């Protein structure tokens, strides 16, 4: 049901970015300075793994905090060269959308908007940690959200069949 404003007009859906901030950040180089020597001497290529996550919290009054978690681990053989972790957050005003559309905004649009900020922070920490620059490739949050939705539907279906 549409909200009626003071002038009698139906309220339009609204999406407002209120704030972008770093909620948490950490960088570790547990095997420095030896790892710098190993990087120059070894034939082994560094192996980089990205763990990605996000969480949306309802703050009330149509405000939501979305936190995008990026954890990048670089291993050289058996040793960890570095670990960079950023929790990039934003506060979004979201009103007038259906629950399904709001969930899509929180699960895809918001993380997509936060990603470039988190990527920049991770890149800066890695470079300032003494390692070669690393640029995370773009991520298709629409596809990730669609896959998450598909898995939830299959999980609910499987649960229903087993009851």
Report the predicted TM-score, pTM, of the whole model to 2 decimal places.
Answer: 0.84
Q: What is the pLDDT of residue 153?
A: 86
Domain that holds residue 109: 14-136
CA atoms of 160 and 153, how far apart (whole Å): 10
Q: Does residue 88 lie in a domain region?
A: yes
Compute mean pLDDT per 10 residues along the chain, 163 residues long, and list them. 46 93 98 86 83 96 98 93 98 96 96 97 96 90 91 64 33
- With H, G, I as helix, E, B as strand and everything else as coil, classify residue 67: strand
Q: Does residue 144 lie in a domain region?
A: no
Q: Does residue 2 lie in a domain region?
A: no
Name the nearest CA neighbour of 77 among 34, 119, 30, 45. Answer: 45
Q: What is the pLDDT of residue 130?
A: 94
Q: What is the pLDDT of residue 156?
A: 58
| Side-chain half-sphere CA neighbours of 51 within 13 A | 8
Q: Does residue 150 lie in a domain region?
A: no
> Considering its fold, how many domains does the chain have in total?
1
Q: Does residue 60 lie in a domain region?
A: yes
CATH number at residue 41: 3.10.420.10
Q: What is the pLDDT of residue 106?
A: 97
How far is C-alpha 56 from the geometric centre of its chain's CA atoms?
11
Q: Does residue 155 lie in a domain region?
A: no
Q: Does residue 153 lie in a domain region?
A: no
Q: What is the pLDDT of residue 10?
A: 53
Q: What is the pLDDT of residue 37?
A: 85
Structure token digits, residue 92: 């979004």
Q: What is the dihedral of CA 159, 152, 96, 22, to 10 degrees?
A: 130
* b (16+ CB within 10 A) / e for 47-61: eeeeebebebeeeee
Q: What is the pLDDT of residue 50?
A: 95
Q: What is the pLDDT of residue 89?
A: 98
How far is C-alpha 45 from the geometric centre of its chain's CA atoms?
26
Q: Does residue 143 lie in a domain region?
A: no
């Amino acid at each position: 049901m549409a909200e009626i404003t003071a002038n009698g007009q139906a309220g339009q859906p609204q999406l407002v970015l209120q704030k972008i901030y770093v909620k948490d950040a950490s960088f570790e180089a547990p095997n420095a300075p030896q790892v710098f020597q190993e990087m120059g001497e070894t034939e082994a290529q560094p192996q980089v793994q990205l763990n990605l996550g996000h969480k949306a919290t309802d703050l009330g009054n149509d405000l939501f905090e979305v936190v995008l978690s990026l954890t990048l681990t670089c291993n050289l053989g058996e040793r960890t060269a570095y670990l960079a972790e950023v929790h990039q957050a934003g506060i979004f005003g979201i009103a007038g959308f259906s629950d399904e559309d709001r969930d899509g905004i929180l699960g895809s649009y918001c993380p997509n908007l936060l990603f470039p900020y988190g990527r920049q922070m991770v890149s800066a920490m890695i470079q300032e940690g003494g390692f070669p620059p690393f640029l995370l490739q773009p991520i298709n949050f629409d596809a990730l959200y669609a896959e998450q939705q598909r898995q939830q539907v299959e999980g609910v279906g499987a649960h229903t069949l087993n009851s």
